[in-house]
Amino acid sequence: MRFVDEYRDAGTAKALAARITALCEPGRAYKFMEVCGGHTHTIYKHGLEDYLPEAVTLVHGPGCPVCVIPMGRVDDAIHIASQPDVIMTSFGDMMRVPGGNGSFLDAKARGADIRMVYSPLDALKIAKQNPSKRVVFMAIGFETTAPSTAMTVLRAKADGVDNFSVFCNHVTIIPAIKAILDSPDLRLDGFIGPGHVSTVIGCRPYRFIARDYGKPIVVAGFEPLDILQSVHQLLTQLAQGRCEVENQYARVVPWDGNPKALAAINEVMELRPHFEWRGLGFISQSALRMSAAYARHDAERIFRIPGGRVADPTSCQCGEVLKGVLKPWECKVFGTACTPETPIGTCMVSSEGACAAYYNFGRFSRERVKEATRQ
């Protein structure tokens, strides 16, 4: 295949659906987790659940970086933005994420200088243009976006831009998957592995899933046929009694990852002893911070950070959604009090959030279009 429309061909999708149905053992139910929020959006944008037999259920995982940021970290960032002569910069997804003291947009309305950027290099440019200001970049994301943050810090150091710093909230995917596997709340038969993260870390880090937990994982791309093929590969492994790491997204993901990107991360950042995830609590060595060698570009060393914990609103069930325990439509405020325009939880804010995917693509119930799986 060479073109996007080939990865969205309905005829090929129906043929794959028939092969998936044939692999299902009568009377057995299968539950697979798509770790990445991008996969969740593909599934509901293209109605892929309607192509799957009732025996196969897909649940979402904690692979949305904005969604897993706890409210306390948002409040810490707003605290930094409220300091004199500070310009806070952030990706657009973060602007509406609610903290205990409101969102970035609320803080901006109160007078804080908070600007949306498309890249950390945009934040570095702002720092060069405003030498009398302290410019902070709110760094979020998994290993996917950590290299761009690291490379920007290296550029700032090389150019002598000392008024640029990073408030680092990068998280790592492997400890989160392990926390899911260790959770008593959920029983899974396999994983649709994250595609974007794997372009950086490769496929090797997932081997423990098959080796230690006996679960197959298939790293998948983001087109409809990518997802369906990955489900077929998972079912094939289970039917054959295998548990392995397979790479469906081999056209993009190298088995060993991106050595240059990993080297940049290792140069600039180090693992935190622990970090709080929304819905999963504190997970050991699951996030990155700036290393001591780059302390002059570390906002957590430059500013006094309150570091307080803030409980999620009692009506919000983002934690259960992120763990795959609940479907978004099962949350009591989904689509009523909580909408993309008036979000209560992060899963309704982010472009990768499961609740946003369900809401935007009209999935207000568990019903499937049964005709799609008929041959």
Q: Please, which residues have CB within 8 angstroms of residue 36's CB and are 6 or more apart in sequence?
A: 61, 63, 64, 192, 193, 194, 195, 196, 197, 352
Count CA atoms closer than 13 A to 342's CA, side-chain side: 6
Per-residue confidence (pLDDT) for residue 370, from 0 to 100: 53
Per-residue confidence (pLDDT) for residue 183, from 0 to 100: 85
Place of tokens 């903290």: 99
Q: Please check the confidence at residue 252 and state whether its pLDDT lies above 70.
A: yes
Pairing status of strand 281-284 against strand 274-277: antiparallel
Question: What band does 366 get if pLDDT is binned at 50, 70 and 90?
Answer: low
Question: What band does 34 get if pLDDT is binned at 50, 70 and 90?
Answer: very high
Residue 23 lies in a domain: yes
Per-residue confidence (pLDDT) for residue 375, from 0 to 100: 42
Pairing status of strand 217-219 against strand 274-277: unpaired
Number of structural domains, the chain?
A: 1
Task: Choose between 306 and 370: higher pLDDT.
Answer: 306
* Rounded Cα distance, 209 and 189, in Å: 11
**pLDDT tens digits, 326-350:** 888 889 899 889 988 888 888 898 8
The CATH number covering residue 243 comes to 3.40.50.11750
- Which residue pairs from 288-293 have beta carbons closer than 8 angstroms and sit at least 24 positions apart in sequence? 288/146, 288/168, 288/170, 288/171, 288/172, 289/168, 290/153, 290/166, 290/168, 291/267
Per-residue confidence (pLDDT) for residue 363, from 0 to 100: 60
Cα dist from 76 to 167, 169, 227, 366, whole Å:
9, 11, 37, 38
Question: What band does 81 get if pLDDT is binned at 50, 70 and 90?
Answer: very high
Average pLDDT, the chain: 92
Task: Choose between 98 and 170: higher pLDDT.
Answer: 170
Q: Please check the confidence at residue 29 and state whether its pLDDT lies above 90.
A: yes
Question: What band does 365 get if pLDDT is binned at 50, 70 and 90?
Answer: low
Per-residue confidence (pLDDT) for residue 3, from 0 to 100: 75
Residue 373 lies in a domain: no
Residue 265 lies in a domain: no
Residue 345 lies in a domain: no
Per-residue confidence (pLDDT) for residue 372, from 0 to 100: 43
Q: Please check the confidence at residue 2 and state whether its pLDDT lies above 80.
A: no
Task: Choose between 224 and 308: higher pLDDT.
Answer: 224
Residue 134 lies in a domain: no
Q: Please, which residues have CB within 8 angstroms of residue 144's CB and are 6 or more apart in sequence?
A: 196, 197, 199, 200
Q: Which residue range(s) make up the domain with 6?
A: 2-63+185-195+205-247
Q: Which of 209-223, 267-281, 351-365 has the lowest mean pLDDT?
A: 351-365
Residue 145 lies in a domain: no
What does pTM read for this prediction? Answer: 0.91
What would the mean pLDDT of 266-292 be, rounded to a whole number?
94
Pair of tokens at residue 144: 């996917």
Question: What band does 39 get if pLDDT is binned at 50, 70 and 90?
Answer: very high
Task: Choose between 127 and 319: higher pLDDT.
Answer: 127
Residue 236 lies in a domain: yes
Residue 52 lies in a domain: yes
**pLDDT tens digits, 305-326:** 998 888 878 888 888 888 888 8
- Which residue pairs from 247-253 have beta carbons closer than 8 angstroms and sit at least 24 positions apart in sequence? 247/198, 247/203, 247/218, 247/219, 248/218, 248/219, 248/220, 248/221, 249/195, 249/198, 249/219, 249/220, 249/221, 251/221, 252/195, 252/199, 252/221, 253/195, 253/198, 253/199, 253/202, 253/203, 253/219
Give the DSSP letter string of 70-87: -HHHHHHHHHHHTSTTEE
Per-residue confidence (pLDDT) for residue 374, from 0 to 100: 41
Per-residue confidence (pLDDT) for residue 373, from 0 to 100: 44
Pair of tokens at residue 333: 């405020």
